[in-house]
């Protein structure tokens, strides 16, 4: 599968990999120093632990609806903000959350890699 050549395609590929539970694809899409701020707890999770949660089946998404993606570009960097509605399971607990997100992508070797992700819950 070809790697995304623009930030919005990389953002879509990230959500597709999450939904598919594709740890190998996530491994290729994430920068070596990737960090995610967990939308539910605010905890910092490094790349290896995040990918392992999918590889082990501990984290699984049943549905992800992404919308309103907006990209702002800088040299070799892109910031994507958008909105999501996600349902899934972490361990034995199910979750459903709506959030605003910020993804920071860096361009390395002609491909876009996700370096940082943060979600903020939308309270209704």
Mean pLDDT, each 10-residue run in order, the chain (124 residues): 80 97 96 95 95 96 96 96 97 96 94 96 89
Contact between 57 and 82 (Cβ < 8 Å):
no
The structure's pTM equals: 0.93
Residue extents of the structural domains in the chain: 7-121
pLDDT of the residue at 22: 97
Contact between 112 and 10 (Cβ < 8 Å):
yes
What are the tokens at 15?
């959500």
pLDDT of the residue at 3: 65
pLDDT of the residue at 110: 86
- Residues 26 and 14: their CA atoms lie apart, in Å, by 7
3-state secondary structure of 9: helix
pLDDT of the residue at 4: 73
E strands present in 1-124: 30-37, 44-46, 59-74, 77-90, 93-108, 111-121
CATH ID of 7-121, from 3.10.450.50, 3.40.980.10, 3.30.360.10, 3.40.250.10: 3.10.450.50
pLDDT of the residue at 1: 57
Contact between 94 and 74 (Cβ < 8 Å):
no
What are the tokens at 19?
């939904």
* Polymer length in residues for the chain: 124
């Amino acid at each position: 599968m070809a790697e995304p050549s623009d930030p919005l395609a990389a953002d879509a590929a990230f959500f597709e990999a999450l939904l598919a539970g594709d740890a190998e694809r996530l491994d290729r899409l994430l920068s070596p120093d990737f960090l995610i701020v967990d939308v539910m707890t605010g905890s910092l999770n490094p790349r290896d632990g995040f990918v392992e949660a999918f590889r082990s089946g501990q984290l699984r998404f049943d549905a992800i609806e992404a919308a309103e993606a907006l990209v702002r570009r800088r040299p070799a960097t892109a910031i994507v903000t958008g909105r999501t509605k996600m349902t899934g399971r972490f361990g034995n607990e199910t979750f459903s959350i709506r959030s605003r997100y910020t993804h920071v992508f860096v361009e390395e070797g002609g491909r876009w890699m996700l370096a940082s992700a943060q979600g903020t819950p939308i309270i209704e």
